[in-house]
Amino acid sequence: MSMYTPKPIDTSDIELPKDLLLLTEKIAENVHDVWAVGRIAEGWTYGESKDTGKKTTPLLVPYKDLPESEKDYDRNTALATLKLIIKLGYTISGRPSGPF
């Protein structure tokens, strides 16, 4: 097997407008929830420490209860995704009709 070298698209030249920056936190929360649904479907449960054999993890908690380091991971994923959408030439328009 050959060595894998990740090559993400460079989005360092993309500056997101303020309203999209605000959207980042909601996307980050959803990223965590999607991850959690997947883990639960695989049989994982909450545990004080991560144990792959027992399928336990302390991260199966609501987003608001995650350590900041984990929230930052989800925020970075959300931010990178939004920047990539813009970099690829797509536009995001519209405002939410209700509260989030």
Residue 61 · residue 71 · CB < 8 Å: no
Domain boundaries, position 49? 18-87
Tokens 């049989």 appear where? Answer: 43
pLDDT in tens, the chain (100 residues): 789 999 999 999 999 988 888 889 999 999 999 999 999 999 999 999 999 999 999 999 999 999 999 999 999 999 999 999 999 999 988 666 655 5
Q: CA dist 68 to 13, 19, 26, Å?
A: 26, 22, 15
Q: How far is Cα 29 from Cα 55, in angstroms, rounded to an integer?
A: 22
Write the CATH number for 68. Answer: 1.10.490.160
> What pTM, to 2 d.p., does this model score?
0.83
Does residue 78 belong to any structural domain of this protein?
Answer: yes
Does residue 59 belong to any structural domain of this protein?
Answer: yes
3-class DSSP state of 52: coil
Does residue 92 belong to any structural domain of this protein?
Answer: no
